[in-house]
Structure 1
Amino acid sequence: MIHAATVQACLAFALLACVSVAYGKPTGQASGRNPSKAALDADQQFDKGSGIAIHKLDGAQIENLLTLGKVWGFLKYYDPTVTSGQRQWDYELFRVLPAILEAPDRASANAVLVRWIDGLGPVPRCSPCAQLDRHDLQLHPDLGWIADTRLLGKTLSRKLQRIHGQRRVGTQFYVALAPGVGYPVFKHEPSYDDIHFPDAGFQLLALFRYWNIIEYWYPDRDVIGEDWDKVLAAFIPRLALARDSATYQLQMMALIAEIHDTHANLRSSLDVRPPVGHCHLPVRLRFVQHQAVVTGIDGTPPNTSMLEVGDVIAKLDGRPPPALAREWAPYYAGSNEAVRLRDIATYMTRGPCDEVPLTVRRGDHELRLKVSRVPLPKDYLAMGDYLAIAFHDLPGPAFRLLSPEVAYLKLSAAKASKATEYIKQAAATKGLIIDARNYPSEFMVFALGSLLVDRPTLFARFTVGDLSNPGAFRWAPPLMLEPKAPHYHGRVVILVDEVTQSRAEYTAMAFRAVPGALVVGSTTAGADGSASRVTLPGGLFTIISGVGVFYPDRRPTQRVGIVPDVVVEPTMAAIRDGRDPVLEEALRLILGPTLPISSIEGMYRSQSP
């Protein structure tokens, strides 16, 4: 078993990655800085650009570029010359690209690759050689293609198989695993901030770099839901032929969305993602029952927007919001539809700084309004999707008693140092409601979880990559909560919805393991665990979920999320009336189903400031 204190120290850093990156604070390595290794610094041939221009691609060229992308990535993580950092591997791609583009057929392109590999020098015998230990193996490397002689021809296939057979133990120049948790840290990946676009070579480099990171280092590769080879083939012309920087960034967004990971998206480039503009309507929207509903008004009174909480936006600038959501969806990475709609709703009213016509349904009436967009808050787009969204917990302090029998704690303001104090204040209650419809302000899993269990309790397992066998992922030992005093004896109810993401999901997952605990609400974001930063050409960056997170019985959480025990979906009627049906259900579960709704509402409405 992994000791809880050790894991707590590791996870407290690792699970911060999502939030730190969203604020523009890099994790893993600094963006825009070239690697310090001598071999990379000495090779400056393409510092000003790749010199590769592509105006059209035929089917044969796309096939050959696909093979190049896969071979380039395989060599990056398996060939000892590359894994020891002896070549500027990005620039080696530019050196071989022209000959691949000129090759008239597959055989000719494969011959180019054979000569290219020969230029790396002979592959020395490994001692010791890496082996694929199948014990505790969760995901195998997907390397069957290197034996496909129809694709590669006999000579190229034989060379790749020899390289694979002579791989070193734990040697990687471009990747390290973070101590303790094991999420990948992508080292020595220059961001090439000063490259001017279009540049077909650097655009293909971005595609190949990202595609191979997912192929070899993404722990949730098996639940992407897409044929990853077909994705590569589809995006080769889309990236190679992008005619300006904005198109390049949009195509990278669309590529990143293909892994269906809420942690992802091209976070450096949200200003070019639709809808585009520097202003927005001063309201908060949420998709409820397939409709875009106003859930809050920004700013202080008076309300100049003419909109009210509960209004349904039937048309925005002449178009129904569900149609806009379908059009923009390819550029929004999300593990599931609920979280994709969450993020689209957050940005939906963005646009030019002028009036926008709206058709609004208010009760039984339809209104036609013209509402002025206002400037976006400072750094709004730099914050990233998650920190721009509205939380759904109660306003006010982190902890309070909703009644003498029910305690309430919201993770967005809870402090780990006060966990014992919270439990002492809740000691006489029948139930504790933990609201995870937010992002936790601090890492609470062990500080609070240890006070909720009366025996050692398993709650999660991780999978981590294998530096000796890129593409393989192994089970780490299970994690557990160790009981500490004072112990809380009441029922625990955890509230979740589409806002519950990453650290919030992990916390809900841990507290769900408490005997008798129940999870109430709706689908969560489906992106748990620590996040790894990926730097891309042009000063761009994205992040990925860096470790696989599973229940102790090895059921997955990625894309699935924390499935509620009791499902409660928001309704338009509840939003109009200012009610919180998720919290109401939690109160019923603690106090009984016969309690009048007026008594239930009184408990939490009276707590609002």
Structure 2
Amino acid sequence: MTWIPCLRLARWCMPAIAIVLVGTAPLAFSQDGGHAAFDTDHAFDAGSRIALDAVTPVQVDNLAVLGKVWGFLKYHHPLITAGGRQWDYELLRVMPRVLAAPDRAAGDAVLRDWIAGLGPLADCAPCAVPAQGELHLRPALQWLDDASLLGAGLRADLRHIYLRRPATASQFYLRLDAQVGNPVFEHEIAYENIALPDAGFQLLALFRFWNIIEYWAPYRDLTGEKWDDVLRQSLPRIALARDRASYQLEMMAVIARLHDTHTNLWSSMHVRPPVGQCRLPVKLRFIDTSAVVVGYREADAEVATRLQVGDVIDSVDGVPVAQLVATWRPHYAASNEAARLRDMAGRLTAGACGAIRLQVRRGQEAVELTAQRVPAARQAGPDTHDREGETFQRLGDDIAYLKLSSLKRADVAAHMAAAAGSRGLIIDLRNYPREFVVFALGSYLVERPTAFARFTKGDLGNPGAFHWTQPVALYPQALRYAGKVMLLVDEVSQSQAEYTAMALRAAPRAKVVGSTTAGADGNISTFALPGGLSTLISGIGVFYPDRRPTQRVGILPDIEVRPTLAGIRAGRDEVLEAAIAEIRRQ
């Protein structure tokens, strides 16, 4: 971007709430669309010049409506869907006037004037029609007719725009992937050089994220939150964040309210508590509500830390673990509690390099010890729960074992040939698959074409609508595995691992053994947020053929088995043991 000074300034002052706003006058854009405005508008390259010391309830009301209207126009107004405005900067232009409005009626008047400035709508021939066919979700546009939210004039303006959309299904700010169908977000500028704090760009981040969820998130109905409330409640905290770290934490808290393990502020994990680049070189796992040592990340870690497998950590530097979990919870995005505690376990001992004090339960004994945090970057090994050793193993003469963390698609045929004749095959998904093997492996397990999933996809012509697709199926090949199939899962089974489990459990002799998975499925779609931040969403909905969800629910086991503290101390793999017992059961 070229940095140029603002050409014209206007100033509003509201001393009673210590607010200073500086905005630019609208530029004289042509009405013929095209991308020229997007490419040549540099009015806010150096910042929004919006500074806030407080926000009043009226301002929160008006900003919430602004955020919704801005997002609606972004995806529905023909001029904006054609790239005819730098729409982020148009938000920053109108925001000072909205903030200065003394009441809701005045706020509506500002928005009506803003919309009028986009020019008259051309005739649409043909005009778009509401989404047709088998729909999972319809656009959530009831608010366009909500008299308690919008005045009559603004309602009419927005309804007019909705009805006069051209039927051409195209969007400037995204397209749908040609193969998978998940959104590919485009022209969402990161503004990485903006100096923070900047209330205008911080609110832009909130509005961008909120509206992407509102119109393009396939699981927006599964958040467990009222999405309008999330917008209103987050506005003051985002607008008034006083530094870069605070802004990132507040955005992280907003994102966490989507309750999707895929979705996080991935650019900013270093600010998520606990902060620090060092940790103890041990592997921790929550067993029920207890943080338990289950292994080591360095060869000498047992001696160096004096922690033993099976130790329960009750407090860290004098703070009970239960209190840490409660304090950190707002910043840990997760589809379910199993995934949230998994992620907290990985960070529980994080902090500055140096000493850490622990209160530990070892059997019936309480132990206090001090250990040394070491750089996390030097600690090897992913937190998988599969069996050590080769990708394919024989567990006795009658059982074959295959783990997907190291399985190559090219080796599937050889491994399945080696498994032939065994009484049962254990496929371990307590990991993230190395390669996509759903069809290569699944074809050995089914007798006939077998549906295992169906998707929902967005609609460029009707933002917020999600259509059902036809089911996806496994197809058998000549060589079929005839034994029982046990699929091992737990909280580290996520996304591709969950999709693989969905597919393979469709086999007639397959059962899922273990505990609830992470509950995040569907190809991801990434996008930037102001300040050089980045996040993503689950881009398509993934369901069973009968339309039951997996999002947030996870892959529920047929045989539920959870590790126990006694089993960990004894060095047992109780999930694997249960699978073996089921195979050998007459």
TM-score computed with the length of structure 2 as normaliser: 0.93
Q: Which runs of 5+ in 2 are unaligned?
A: 1-33
Whether the 8 Å contact between 2:177 and 2:183 is mirrored in structure 1 is yes
Whether the 8 Å contact between 1:455 and 1:482 is mirrored in structure 2 is yes
Whether the 8 Å contact between 2:35 and 2:82 is mirrored in structure 1 is no
In structure 1, C-alpha distance between the alignment counterparts of 2:574 and 2:275, rounded to whole Å: 34
In structure 2, C-alpha distance between the alignment counterparts of 1:38 and 1:498, rounded to whole Å: 49
Whether the 8 Å contact between 2:131 and 2:138 is mirrored in structure 1 is no
Aligned to 2:471: 478
Matched, 1:118 2:121: no
Aligned to 1:250: 249
- Aligned residue type for 2:80: V
TM-superposed CA distance for 1:263, in Å, is: 0.4
TM-superposed CA distance for 1:321, in Å, is: 1.1
In structure 1, C-alpha distance between the alignment counterparts of 2:503 and 2:571, rounded to whole Å: 30
* Residue number among 88, 93, 100 corresponding to 1:102 in the alignment: 100
Q: What do you get for the CA RMSD once the two structures are aligned?
A: 1.3
TM-superposed CA distance for 1:37, in Å, is: 4.4
Matched, 1:70 2:63: no
Aligned to 1:350: 350
Aligned to 1:314: 314
Q: How many residues align?
A: 551
Aligned to 2:368: 368
* Residue number among 567, 570, 577 corresponding to 1:577 in the alignment: 570
Moved more, 348-357 or 227-236: 348-357
Moved more, 72-81 or 415-424: 415-424
- Aligned residue type for 1:349: T
In structure 2, C-alpha distance between the alignment counterparts of 1:43 and 1:301, rounded to whole Å: 59
Aligned to 2:89: 91
Aligned to 1:597: none
3-state SS of 1:146 partner:
helix
In structure 2, C-alpha distance between the alignment counterparts of 1:447 and 1:560, rounded to whole Å: 26
Moved more, 211-220 or 532-541: 532-541
Aligned to 2:156: 158
Matched, 1:172 2:171: yes
- Aligned residue type for 1:314: D
Aligned to 2:16: none
- Cα deviation code 1:202-228 (max 9, x no counterpart): 000000000000000000001110000
Report 1:151-550 matches (<5 A): 151-168=149-166, 169-301=168-300, 303-377=303-377, 390-550=383-543
Aligned to 1:33: none
- Cα deviation code 1:354-373 (max 9, x no counterpart): 21111111112111101111
3-state SS of 1:73 partner:
helix
Distance verdict in 2 for CA 1:223–1:424, change over 3 Å: same
- Aligned residue type for 1:532: S
Aligned to 1:557: 550
Moved more, 297-306 or 232-241: 297-306
3-state SS of 1:253 partner:
helix
- Aligned residue type for 1:125: D
Distance verdict in 2 for CA 1:455–1:578, change over 3 Å: same
In structure 1, C-alpha distance between the alignment counterparts of 2:316 and 2:532, rounded to whole Å: 34
Which consecutive segments of 4 or more residues in structure 1 shift more than 3 A? Answer: none
- Cα deviation code 1:379-427 (max 9, x no counterpart): x9xxxxxx98500001111111112210000010111111111111111
Whether the 8 Å contact between 2:458 and 2:466 is mirrored in structure 1 is yes
TM-superposed CA distance for 1:39, in Å, is: 2.3
- Aligned residue type for 1:147: D
- Aligned residue type for 2:509: G
In structure 2, C-alpha distance between the alignment counterparts of 1:561 and 1:150, rounded to whole Å: 38
Q: Which runs of 5+ in 1 are unaligned?
A: 1-35, 381-386, 594-609
Whether the 8 Å contact between 1:295 and 1:310 is mirrored in structure 2 is yes
Identity of aligned residues (%): 57
3-state SS of 2:343 partner:
helix
TM-superposed CA distance for 1:289, in Å, is: 2.2
TM-superposed CA distance for 1:592, in Å, is: 2.0
- Cα deviation code 1:430-466 (max 9, x no counterpart): 1110000000000010011011111000000000000
- Aligned residue type for 1:277: G
In structure 2, C-alpha distance between the alignment counterparts of 1:151 and 1:75, rounded to whole Å: 17
- Aligned residue type for 2:312: V
- Cα deviation code 1:28-59 (max 9, x no counterpart): xxxxxxxx943212000100100100110110
Moved more, 149-158 or 478-487: 149-158
- Aligned residue type for 1:291: S
In structure 1, C-alpha distance between the alignment counterparts of 2:99 and 2:359, rounded to whole Å: 52
Higher RCO (CA-CA < 8 Å; seq separation 6+): 1
- Cα deviation code 1:112-153 (max 9, x no counterpart): 000000000111121222212431111010001111233211
Aligned to 1:143: 141
- Cα deviation code 1:239-278 (max 9, x no counterpart): 0000000000000000000000000111100111100112
- Cα deviation code 1:166-215 (max 9, x no counterpart): 12231200011111211111100000010010000000000000000000
Whether the 8 Å contact between 1:423 and 1:486 is mirrored in structure 2 is no
In structure 2, C-alpha distance between the alignment counterparts of 1:153 and 1:62, rounded to whole Å: 17
Aligned to 1:589: 582
- Aligned residue type for 1:253: M
3-state SS of 2:151 partner:
helix
- Cα deviation code 1:516-570 (max 9, x no counterpart): 2100000100001111102100110111111100000000010001000010011
3-state SS of 2:129 partner:
coil
Aligned to 1:13: none
Aligned to 1:16: none
- Aligned residue type for 2:50: I
* Residue number among 125, 128, 133 corresponding to 2:126 in the alignment: 128
In structure 1, C-alpha distance between the alignment counterparts of 2:481 and 2:277, rounded to whole Å: 49
In structure 2, C-alpha distance between the alignment counterparts of 1:133 and 1:377, rounded to whole Å: 49
- Aligned residue type for 2:140: D
In structure 2, C-alpha distance between the alignment counterparts of 1:170 and 1:200, rounded to whole Å: 34
TM-superposed CA distance for 1:87, in Å, is: 0.2
Whether the 8 Å contact between 2:525 and 2:538 is mirrored in structure 1 is yes
3-state SS of 1:152 partner:
coil
3-state SS of 2:305 partner:
coil
3-state SS of 2:157 partner:
helix
Whether the 8 Å contact between 1:297 and 1:308 is mirrored in structure 2 is no
TM-superposed CA distance for 1:154, in Å, is: 1.0
- Aligned residue type for 2:287: V
TM-score computed with the length of structure 1 as normaliser: 0.89
3-state SS of 1:132 partner:
coil
Whether the 8 Å contact between 2:496 and 2:521 is mirrored in structure 1 is yes
In structure 1, C-alpha distance between the alignment counterparts of 2:193 and 2:306, rounded to whole Å: 45
